[in-house]
Structure 1
Amino acid sequence: MSIDETSGPWTRLDVSFTSDGDTCAAWLYLPPADGPVPVIVMAHGLGAVREMRLDAFAERFTAAGYACLVFDYRHFGASGGQPRQLLDIGRQLVDWRAAVAYARTRPELDPDRVVVWGTSFSGGHAIVTAAADDRLAAAIAQCPFTDGFASLRAIEPRTVAKISARAVRDVARRLRRRPPVMIATSGPVGSTALMTAPDAMDGYLALTPGAPTFSNQVAARIGLAIGLHFPGRSAAKVTVPILYCVCDRDSVAPAPATLRHVAKSPRGEIRRYDEGHFDIYVDEAFEQVVTDQLDFLRRHVPVAG
């Protein structure tokens, strides 16, 4: 049992659930409560694992009375799935549905007060998941990836060409049933990596201390899929309350495209921050965004039901 200095005891359990035949590892944070409580289902962004500051968010939510189910996608972290480091958008969306379904089976959790919370690439997954499941109580999308074309335009054309070439090699190896060709998830400006903005490598890798399963690489085939992925188009179909936390200086998921998409959510709320994509996980920006998210949760999914 862990102790929160301001709010008393909470419990974190190691749990797992099945997604399309593989096992997803998860943490289940439980506040001290007598009856079923609302639960926030959480997963990380591009190539990231739960130890990369999701525990910090979950601890704050649990201290406020919410349970949290924080999971690793298949092929990443402590979850199963081969090959390792395979970032497949369709499979990750299946994992989200499996996580929500699992949360609804736990007796400690209220099946009608499930919230999805995603950040960066998983912010887009949270939008798509919420659009497809109107039984959800609410959703939160933090610095969300919403528009593949906008994200590609933010990358130097030479880098895009190098990513594409490596992705084609990986697809060719997959067709021959060979191990994947890998590509760095983050790297210096001009390198062959998925995120090469000036703040990307330092900001991304700063989240990794305490993440023993993290590897800064993924199967390169995702490089052909990112530019064709537009989860923001699902924002207009989200009928539940949804909070969008948008970083105005976002180098990975450009804010103008995100704001165009998310403005179409019928019950959407937008909070904007004068921050970069990776700033929101730490320090004062973290404190501000958690405060705003808790305010949203208390209004739309109060702990007392």
Structure 2
Amino acid sequence: MSATQTFSRHDVSFASGDSTCAAWLYLPTGVASPPVVILGHGLGAVREMRLDAFAERFAEAGIAALAFTYRHFGDSGGQPRQLLSIGRQLADWDAAIAHVKTRDDLDGTRIAVWGSSFGGGHAITIASRHSELRAAVSQCPFTDGLASALAVGPTASFKVMPLVARDLVAKLRGSAPAMIPLAGAPGTQALMNAPDALPGYLALVPSGMPFRNEVAARVIPTIVRHRPGRAAKDVRMPILFCVSNTDTVAPPAQTLKYARTAPHGEIKQYDAGHFEFYLGDPFEELVRDQVEFLSRHLEPVEAREMS
């Protein structure tokens, strides 16, 4: 696969549940039936928040890329807006895989998944459920809700419970959700309030793009119970874990414990923080490692047999 491949980008959408997910499809120019990697983002994030940067590099390496936005966010469908449902997001991944298998401009037998942050946890879960995948990449993954909650501190977790209760009442009444910020300043009520969370999160939003820094509060109890890292032991294909040594959102010690249980796991550790992975030198190092990994595992079977 060429490291200087040109590509084209196409606006596409695919059905998921009762609505649709909006996506970008990157196709390497002149490559017949390229392999494809599916990219999904993190907590409340949309594909415009630097998924394009990774997708472009994969396409330049001859790997098609489908970068999608979850239902209820951005320009994807789904009501109410800003609803973060783990079950629905996993269903969106299933739908994305089904979609690429139907396309005659892709090789549906050579598929990988790539997830970052909360999506990094999803990538582990999805890889454990889809044995037909060739490879997976889990970047700065959220692997254990309890570990993340303890990192924030029990006092902070307790303070948000009245807001959770208010949103659950809103759900029962069919009224507008009660929202909590996705990222906030230290000491404020937010899903992420480490010192680097708010500036790091907002740095990913393109200039001039409207973005809602909030999510329905009802998701908080499900996040605390969510432990996708446990599925790592069931991932049968090669999976690359890109771990931040200084991660303030997804504690690296717990992530590394899970990553070491993957039968064919590869682990890369970086000194950059959770929100630094998407920009500058850390991005260049990460995407270089990921291109090498994906190129190695998405090559045609004939080429693998000859090597």
Show CA shifts across 1:120-174 (max 9, x none): 0000000000000000010000000000111001103332112222112101110
Q: Give 2:250's aligned amino acid.
A: A
Q: Which residue of 1 aligns with 2:157?
A: 160
How far 1:199 sits from its partner (Å)? 0.7
Task: Tell me whether 1:55 sits opposite 2:60 in the alignment.
Answer: no
How far 1:7 sits from its partner (Å)? 2.6
Show CA shifts across 1:263-288 (max 9, x none): 00000000000121111111110000
Contact kept in structure 1, 2:180 and 2:215, CA below 8 Å: yes
Q: Which residue of 2 aligns with 1:265?
A: 262
1:2-17 → structure 2 map (5 Å cutoff):
7=4, 9-17=6-14
User: Is the partner of 1:69 in helix, strand or coil?
Assistant: strand
How far 1:34 sits from its partner (Å)? 4.1
Distance (Å, rounded) in 2 between the aligned partners of 1:211 and 1:18: 28
Residue in structure 2 matching 1:29, options 4, 16, 26: 26
Contact kept in structure 2, 1:48 and 1:214, CA below 8 Å: no
Q: Which residue of 2 aligns with 1:221?
A: 218
The TM-score, its normalising length taken from structure 1, stands at 0.96
How far 1:176 sits from its partner (Å)? 1.2
Distance (Å, rounded) in 1 between the aligned partners of 2:173 and 2:18: 23
Distance (Å, rounded) in 2 between the aligned partners of 1:86 and 1:72: 13
Residue in structure 2 matching 1:199, options 191, 196, 200: 196
Task: State the percentage of identical aligned residues.
Answer: 53
Residues 211 and 222 of structure 1, relative CA distance in 2, 3 Å threshold: farther
Q: Which residue of 2 aligns with 1:252?
A: 249
How far 1:8 sits from its partner (Å)? 5.2
Distance (Å, rounded) in 1 between the aligned partners of 2:238 and 2:55: 20
Q: Give 1:168's aligned amino acid.
A: A
Q: Give 2:86's aligned amino acid.
A: I
Distance (Å, rounded) in 1 between the aligned partners of 2:227 and 2:216: 20
Task: Tell me whether 1:293 sits opposite 2:290 in the alignment.
Answer: yes
The TM-score, its normalising length taken from structure 2, stands at 0.95
CA RMSD of aligned residues (A): 1.3
Distance (Å, rounded) in 2 between the aligned partners of 1:113 and 1:29: 15
Show CA shifts across 1:242-300 (max 9, x none): 00000010000000000011100000000000121111111110000011111111221
Distance (Å, rounded) in 2 between the aligned partners of 1:124 and 1:62: 24
Contact kept in structure 1, 2:5 and 2:62, CA below 8 Å: no
Q: Give 1:243's aligned amino acid.
A: L
Contact kept in structure 1, 2:5 and 2:61, CA below 8 Å: no
Q: Which residue of 2 aligns with 1:208?
A: 205
Residue in structure 2 matching 1:96, options 82, 93, 96: 93
Show CA shifts across 1:18-43 (max 9, x none): 00120110000000134211000001
Show CA shifts across 1:178-211 (max 9, x none): 1100000000001010000011111111101247
Contact kept in structure 2, 1:156 and 1:190, CA below 8 Å: no
- Larger fraction in strand: 1
Q: How many residues align?
A: 300
Distance (Å, rounded) in 2 between the aligned partners of 1:266 and 1:146: 17
Residues 131 and 243 of structure 1, relative CA distance in 2, 3 Å threshold: same
User: Is the partner of 1:26 in helix, strand or coil?
Assistant: strand
Unaligned runs of 5+ in 1: 1-5
How far 1:11 sits from its partner (Å)? 0.7
User: Is the partner of 1:37 in helix, strand or coil?
Assistant: coil
Unaligned runs of 5+ in 2: none
Residue in structure 1 matching 2:240, options 216, 240, 243: 243
1:175-190 → structure 2 map (5 Å cutoff):
175-190=172-187
Contact kept in structure 2, 1:51 and 1:211, CA below 8 Å: no
Distance (Å, rounded) in 2 between the aligned partners of 1:29 and 1:273: 27
Q: Which residue of 2 aligns with 1:277?
A: 274
